[in-house]
Amino acid sequence: MHINQTPSLINQTNQKVIHARIHGDVVVVLPDSLDLITSYVVQEQEDWFEDEIKFVRELMQPGMRVIDVGANYGLYALSMASKVGAHGHVWAFEPASSTVSFLKRSVALNNFSNVTVIQCALSNRTGTAKLGLNQNSELNTLCLENGSTLETEDVALTTLDRYTAEHGCEQIEFVKLDAEGEESNIVSGGAAFLEKESPLIMYELKHGWQVNLSLVRQFEERGYLPYILIPGLSLLAPFDSTASPDPFQLNLFCCKKDRARQLEQRGLLAVSMEDIDMLYESDALSWRRFLESKPFARSIVERWGNRVNEQPMPGWKNLKKAIEQYSMAHNPDLNPNLRYSALKSSYNQLAMLCNESPSLGRLCTFARVSRELGYREKALEVLRNAVDMRQQPLTLDEPFLPASHRFDSIDPGNRVGAWMTASLLEQIETCKAQSSFYSGTSSLNYLKVLLSTGFASPEMERRRQLILKRYGRQSGLN
């Protein structure tokens, strides 16, 4: 684990801290407490749990100018600063004094001269306000009514319009907006900025349990159309605000049409679906060539070929087509509209197959495609069905993809059963909650079986140890 756990102190709070290294060799200073969301998650995953942070890193280019509203401990702000370089700039707004002190230490520790930390809250007015302080700073909120039971702190208040006008924040290409329910007021207070500039904006879809579709409409009224991340392809696709979003979906993106065209040209955004069937040309062996490039298939690919030639399984043509379309979706030479359409078509083929004639391999493949599309609840349902089917004798006579892409690179050798079990349980563990911070001791049984297979990732062992330490079952991390 890339964590320096030698205790150091924040001068003002006398609080022990850890220095945690996340993706991109970025160091984050955090409180040394497993009861705090960010501190726990970073020690568990060596990164933040949101799929979106990986996409934002790909989005960033040298010289970009970006704004982070609600920077918290700075996982996004610091990651962006490492990507935009000396000629780019990050403006990071964070109102809570304690959190700001951590963020400033992280900026200094990484020698980032391209970050401006602003200790201020954004809203639709200027002046001061009371910030309700939660134990987990991610949940801090502006107190709009008297009588709040939360501990509060007086914070400065300004608008996006006023700050950007006074400080020359122009040519902004990306805004992250995470303000725990204050987003609508921030948009109202940034009307001139949103009219003049044309950034891609990432914002919270949910506040607590409430889906914030009114914010989607508020952005649309200003010409910012909604998009959702397709995590398996690391690109954005149009968001249907009339459909029920996945319960695990936390964030959306939006932008004007000019920014959408730029992102489409970079391969980062699909503007529409395309008819894959019009482009689809069957190749009897393309599925095999694609799977043979994966180390996991070396031990079993011959079994697939023999069975397919001797006696094709029910639905074989549709399964072959689904795998070929999955391969198309991951072809970086194709445009994002085709890639997204291919993944959706693969999902539809697999949904039909698993409904009519399910098998363990088909369920694994379907769970994987579901997760890559961001259909996390569906993936979890399919994974649990696959675990139930795993109790039956293991037959792998048809092509499939492991439930987790990490297992593509692992050759199971003569331990296919243990490998299959590990791929299912590890994907369930990462799908059922954003982190074991939320699932707690309920993860221990899964982790015990998973770790016994010998195929678990290092993160799974970190999860086990963190749970044990957090709940007083061991004194420290081994």
Report how far apart, in Å, the C-alpha atoms of 168 and of each of 65, 89, 91, 477 are: 11, 12, 11, 47
User: Does 289 score more than 80 pLDDT?
Assistant: yes
pLDDT at site 3: 37
- Quick check: 82 and 127 in contact, CB under 8 A? no
| b/e per residue 148-166 (b: at least 16 CB within 10 A) | eeeeebebebbbbbbbbee
The Cα–Cα gap between 231 and 374 comes to 6
Which residues lie across from 8 on neighbouring strands? 17
**Of 369, 337, 372, 177, which is closest to residue 263 (Cα–Cα)?**
337
pLDDT digits (tens, 9 = 90+) for 172-217: 999 999 987 789 999 999 999 999 999 999 999 876 677 888 999 9
pTM of this structure: 0.91
Report how far residue 344's alpha carbon sits from residue 375's, in angstroms, rounded to the nearest whole number. 11
For 407-452, the pLDDT digits (tens) are 999 999 889 889 999 999 999 999 999 999 999 999 998 899 999 9
**Are the CB atoms for 164 and 122 separated by under 8 Å?**
no
Cα 23 to Cα 280: distance, rounded to the nearest angstrom = 38
CA 398 to chain CA centroid, nearest Å? 31
Tell me the three state secondary structure of residue 163: helix
Residue 93's DSSP bridge partners are: 69, 118
The more confidently predicted of residues 300 and 178 is 178
Question: What does the mean pLDDT of the chain come to?
Answer: 88
pLDDT of residue 301: 79
Contact 424, 400 (CB under 8 A): no
Q: What is the pLDDT of residue 276?
A: 72
Residue 376 to residue 51: CA distance in whole angstroms: 12
Residue 337 pLDDT grade (very low, low, confident, very high; cuts 50, 70, 90): very high
Residue (of 416, 398, 397, 406) closest to 372 by Cα position: 406
Cα 456-459-464 angle, rounded to 5 deg: 85
- Residue 65 is inside which H or E element, if any? strand 65-69
Q: Which of 75-89, 126-140, 309-323 has the lowest mean pLDDT?
A: 126-140
The single-letter code of the amino acid at 208 is: G
What is the sign of the dihedral through the CA atoms of 376, 378, 384 and 387?
A: negative
DSSP characters over 18-55: EEEEETTTEEEEEES-TTSHHHHHHHHHSS-S-HHHHH
DSSP H helical ranges for 311-435: 316-329, 336-356, 360-373, 376-389, 416-431
In the predicted structure, residue 279 carries a pLDDT above the cut 80: no
pLDDT tens for 221-270 read 999 999 999 999 999 999 998 888 899 999 999 999 999 999 999 999 99
Question: What's the whole-number mean pLDDT along residues 40-59?
Answer: 97
Residue 406 contacts residue 11 (beta carbons within 8 Å): no
Nearest to 221 by CA among 193, 191, 244, 196: 191
The confidence band for 134, taking pLDDT boundaries of 50, 70 and 90, is low
Confidence of residue 10 (pLDDT cuts 50, 70, 90): very low
